[in-house]
Amino acid sequence: MQVVPGRYDATTGLVTFTTTHFSKYVVGSNKISFSDVSASDWYADAVSFIAARQITIGTTADTFTPNGTLTRGQFIVMLMRAYGIEPGTDTADNFSDAGDVYYTAYLAKARQLGITNGVGNNRFAPDQAITRQDMFTLLYRALDTLGSLPKGSESVTISDYADSAAVSDYAEEAVGCFLKAGVITGAAGHLNPEDTTTRAEMAQVLYKLLSV
């Protein structure tokens, strides 16, 4: 059984999703909660959304650790699960630090699809904390590969932010795209591209993209 991304609208009572073929579909509910995520938290809906779709699980059976730092390996797995990209079956051509763990096959597939070229010297640095600009870049490349880049109507640009010069050249297209689409808005006039990303921030970004 394949999980198809969709969204339930409590107001209309309808479930909407996108498909490219006719088939039989079953509507399911998988409500998940964590002891460290309160309903009033700004990321609560996002965490519930991605956990219910098995994009990610908690750090324990009962906790999500929303303020925990997200690693590059963790994000590549969540990204590919979010968009139904299956892990690779041939992991021979992989990064030298891909290891033999939960993210190994996902890294092989991401490399094969051109979603990532790593950090240089045939390395991906999967256990390194991921920066905001790297998260947006990997996400942009995955959506570009799938032909699913969001359309933007916002007039904002990178140059509108005080730290625009801190955005690396390789990340400019991705950051610009998500700004125009309203996926990211920055904080207090800053993009903070080199800051690391928390699990809550990752959940919010995926939620915005998947729930439109």
Element (H, E) at 17: strand 14-17
Residue 178, pLDDT > 60, answer yes
What would the pLDDT profile of 51-109 be if each residue is shown by its tens digit? 999 999 899 999 999 999 999 999 999 999 999 999 999 999 999 999 999 999 999 99
Domains of the chain, by residue range, sit at 1-69, 70-130, 131-196
Paired sense of beta strands 14-17 and 6-9, if any: antiparallel
Specify the pLDDT at position 11.
74
Is residue 95 within 8 A of residue 122, CB to CB? The reply is yes
What phi and psi values does residue 50 have, to the nearest 5 degrees? Answer: -75, -30
DSSP 136: H
Token pair of 39, please?
């309903």
Token pair of 83, please?
């968009």
What would the pLDDT profile of 3-40 be if each residue is shown by its tens digit? 566 666 667 767 676 676 778 777 656 678 999 999 99
- Residue 172 has a CB neighbour count (10 Å cut-off) of 15
- How far apart CA 140 and CA 150 sit, in angstroms, is 9
- How far apart CA 168 and CA 6 sit, in angstroms, is 34
Alpha-carbon distances of 178 from 75, 76, 122, 131, 183, rounded to whole Å? 17, 18, 28, 15, 5
